[in-house]
Amino acid sequence: MKSNRLLLCIVIALAYCECCYGQWLEISNVKLRDEKTELAGPKIIIEYDVNDPNITESSPAYVFVRYSRDGGKTWRLIPTDGLQGNGFDMVDKPGHKQIIWWGTEQTSFTDVNQVKVRVRGLAMARIPAGKFFMKSLPGGGRDDSKEITPEPNLSLFYMARCETTVSMYADYLNEVGAEGAGWNSRMNNSDRCGIVRNEDHTYSVEPGRENYPITYISWYDAANFLQWCGVRLPTEAEWEKALRGGIYLDGDDTKKKPNPRPERRYPWGDESPNEGGVFRCNYDGEEDGFAYTAPVGSFSKFASPYGVCDLAGNVAEWTLDWYSTSHHAGLDGFRMVRGGSWMAVPAACDAITGATQLPLKESSIMGFRAVKGSPTSLLNVEYRTPNIQ
């Protein structure tokens, strides 16, 4: 029958919808429906609204969707290669969004009412493809696998405008942390990390700490959180380009917007963080207004040319890069950390100063942020904390 060819059945389910607040972008009216087609198999349609007026082409939202088919016990990331529509990955306009989820296994739900989805959005900055000045190189020893040239050319990538926050991490823990994943013993002091682990193994944020950067996070914790989102840590080169800007801020494809200070020392320019009695980032001491970490974006006036906040100071940030692979470490080598911190002297909050840390280190001065860009193959790596007795 003709009608059977077109659409056998449309099931509109008032599916479980869940909005995620805190430092995720506000996403509302999440709806899920199951459409069964005769030839193309089942598909799920997810609709939602994202109304943040700050979402633009240069400041898009990274939207990812996680689903559960067992009533919310376990959750998985929906792979973007099975999605169509205007509401996933980089979303560059606010409004009503639709995602069509094609798939064979995941979408063959016996009862769509049992399916739950969570849609989350992260504010990003677009960093166009092109050359920039890598001034930190060749400081310190680095892995041979890294291309090191004075003017490296990076392809397009997106970086989170803010450091990952306590509220984001607590949200993550509530999805994955029932068995203790993502949690470490140093977090048990909630004064330190800002998250309380409740007796029923749920997690709540200490009131007032929602917008502070998450700390006491090992490299593995950071990598796993980001993999959960479908993104990754920045490389050192990406981190430095996001801070300084490319030689052309609009990228090398158009070259219409030269960077006025392509060799700048800090995100805002060359002035020291406290020059002239103006406090441009969160470094050691209280004169900048913060004795410890500051809520992310507190110094947004002094963001990078792309609008990325707190690259200088607040918390130093894990990067994807190794320092070296074997010397001294014996464990997993050292990873590079960039950006200075609330405990660092102002000069250490510049574009070139880095520090090495063993990836197991959990510290009050280290956090991280997300990047979406190549090489995405890194997303397939399983980051497991070494079992050290």
Partner 1 sequence: MKSLNRRQFMKGSIGAAAAFAAISQSPVRGANDKVIIGVMGLGGRGTQLAEMFAQRPDVEIAYLCDADSRRFARAREAVEEAQNKRTKLVQDFRKILDDASVDALINATPDHWHGLGTIMACQAGKDVYVEKPMAHNVWEGRKMIEAARKYKRVVQVGMQSRSAAYAKKAKEYIESGKMGEINLVRVFNMMQHPRQKQAADQPVPEGFDYDMWCGPAPKLPYNPGQRWLNQWEYSCGPIPGDAVHQLDLARYLLNDIPCPKTVAHAGGVFSLKDGRETPDTQLATYEYGPLTLMLEAALWTPYMKKTPAEIRDSDLFPNWPFSATKIEILGTQGFMYVGRHGGGWQAYDAEGELVRSEYGRQGDKEHQDNFIDCIRTRKKANADVEVGHQTVLLCHLANISYRVGNQRLEFDSKTETFTNCDQANKLLKREYRTPWIVPETV
Report the nearest approach of partner 1 to the CB of residue 214 (Å). 13
Report the nearest approach of partner 1 to the CB of residue 51 (Å). 26
100 forms beta bridges with: 45, 84
Taking CB under 8 A as the criterion, which residues in 72-131 touch partner 1?
none
How far is Cα 373 from Cα 188, in angstroms, rounded to an integer?
Answer: 34
Among 168, 205, 294, 371, binds partner 1 (CB under 8 A): 294
Report the nearest approach of partner 1 to the CB of residue 196 (Å). 14
How far is Cα 45 from Cα 31, in angstroms, rounded to an integer?
Answer: 8
Residue 169: which H helix or E strand, with range?
Answer: helix 166-176
Nearer to partner 1, 107 or 211 (CB): 211
Site map (CB under 8 A) of partner 1, residues 313-352, x = contact: ---x-------xxxxx-xxx-x-----xx-xxxxxx-x-x
Please choose, out of 95-103, 120-128, 188-196, 249-257, the segment that lies near partner 1 by the rule CB under 8 A: 188-196
Report the nearest approach of partner 1 to the CB of residue 150 (Å). 8
How far is Cα 123 from Cα 162, in angstroms, rounded to an integer?
Answer: 8
Nearer to partner 1, 235 or 293 (CB): 293
Residue 355 interacts with partner 1 (CB under 8 A): yes or no: yes
E strands of the chain, at which residues?
9-13, 27-36, 42-50, 61-68, 76-77, 83-85, 89-91, 95-102, 116-127, 130-131, 153-154, 157-160, 195-197, 203-205, 316-324, 334-338, 354-357, 366-367, 371-373
Residue 363 interacts with partner 1 (CB under 8 A): yes or no: yes
Nearer to partner 1, 34 or 288 (CB): 288
Q: Note every long-range contact of 262-266, with CB atoms under 8 Å and residues 24 or more positions apart, other chains counting.
A: 262/132, 262/133, 263/133, 263/135, 264/351, 265/350, 265/351, 265/352, 266/302, 266/312, 266/349, 266/350, 266/351
Residue 298 interacts with partner 1 (CB under 8 A): yes or no: yes
Q: Interface with partner 1 by CB under 8 A: which residues?
A: 137-144, 148, 150, 189, 191-192, 208-209, 212, 272, 284, 289-295, 298, 316, 324-328, 330-332, 334, 340-341, 343-348, 350, 352-353, 355-357, 363-365, 386-389
